[in-house]
Amino acid sequence: MKAIRLHIKQNSANYKKEETVQNRMTFPLPPYSTVIGALHKACGYTSYHPMQVSVQGKYGSLKTKMYKDDCFLNSLNDDRNLLVKMKNPDMLSSAYQVVATAQKAQGNSFEKGITINVINEKLLEEYRFLKRTKRRIDKHKKIINKMKTRLKEMKADENISAEGVKEFDKRIKHIKAVYDEYEKVKYTIPYSHFRTLAKGPKYYELLCDIELIIHIVADENTMNDIMDNIGNLTAIGRGEDFVEVLECAETELFDVDEDVDYGEADFDVYMPVEYLEINKDDMDIISKTEGGYTGGTKYLMPKDYKTVQLKGGMRKRVFNRVPIIFCQLNYIENGCKGIMLDKTENGIYSVFLA
């Protein structure tokens, strides 16, 4: 079986676990999805090209760093944090102007001017005007509620014709539509440009001195594209997690036709659970972490995804997750099923394609 072998080094990287927030933890090696995404970007692909990937490697150390996090809250609060106005609210932009800052954790008011530092008086007055506009609109909307009460009375009154009831109902709907449109233009849209910004310290884990061996199996055209565009592979992980490609070579993968003793090899591997289940009596693995699963740490590793349409025009990525074991191989015996070997001048790599 033909494959591509990549030998890569990185000074540092964070392969973020998506469920972590306060401390952005990292996977010990890049997830399949991260590798596949980096290769697709390097090749300029705009649609998914199926491929199988095997990831193994090591890192020298792990450290935690602190950074200042800017978080836009889902709701606009009048009494805390920073009141800001987005510069380009209709675009995917995080640029903003600070309007005012709260002096205390709670009990402030941007609208009433209670314990705040005013940064932009003009924008603050715009914010206050919108709050007053909302109260005026709500006051006038009470007319609609009174009209709806009157409509119920008309329906119960036998002296009022059905045509008269229908005409009054039509009038209510027209007035409501006018108010709704007025509220949208004069309040809802301009008010949505103001946001609450919370600043605070957060942390992220950083792997250092990383060395990776990655095998890729795909159709011939895709593999040729990867070989031709490997110079465009600049990062794996975050945009600043730069890579040094030491080797990009075509290789041949073989079935396990001999016993392989890895001895003092120090590369960790992502092994899909299915390989362990069918070969557990023919291999020995070592775990570097406590509380592991059958000699290793178990992850549900993201590989590829499908886009699902949600309400309101929103879309969501639903990932295909592969159950894997993060471990280190001690030895494998001749005849192991599914596992492939890459025999090189520098040694034999076990390849666990997912």
Using alpha carbons only, give the angle 210, 216, 218 rounded to the nearest 5 degrees.
Answer: 160
Cβ 60 vs Cβ 209: under 8 Å: yes
Segment 155-182, tens digit of pLDDT = 888 888 888 889 999 999 999 999 999 9
The DSSP secondary-structure symbol of 185 reads I
| Per-residue confidence (pLDDT) for residue 164, from 0 to 100 | 87
Mean pLDDT of 9-15: 96
Q: How far apart are CA 157 and CA 333, in angstroms?
A: 90
Cβ 205 vs Cβ 24: under 8 Å: yes
pLDDT band at 2 (very low <50, low <70, confident <90, very high): very high
Residues in the chain: 354
Q: Is the pTM of this model over 0.75?
A: no
The 3-class secondary structure across 187-200, one letter per residue, is: HHHHHHCEEEEEEE
pLDDT band at 293 (very low <50, low <70, confident <90, very high): very low
Per-position DSSP letters for 218-237, written without gaps between them? E-HHHHHHHHHTGGG--BSS
Segment 64-110, tens digit of pLDDT = 998 888 888 888 999 999 999 998 887 767 889 999 999 998 889 99
Q: How far is CA 36 from CA 133, 199, 286, in A?
A: 51, 33, 27
Return the CA Rg of the chain: 30
Segment 21-34, tens digit of pLDDT = 788 899 999 999 99
Residue with tokens 């009375």: 153
For residue 165, give every residue at least 6 positions away whose Cβ sits within 8 Å of its Cβ, in sequence order, or none.
151, 154, 155
Q: How far apart are CA 354 and CA 215, in angstroms?
A: 10
Q: How far apart are CA 16 and CA 10, in angstroms?
A: 15
Residue with tokens 């469920």: 19
| Per-residue confidence (pLDDT) for residue 353, from 0 to 100 | 95
Q: Where are the beta strands (DSSP E) in the chain?
A: 2-13, 23-24, 51-58, 61-72, 82-86, 96-102, 116-118, 194-218, 244-255, 260-261, 268-272, 283-286, 297-309, 315-332, 340-344, 347-351
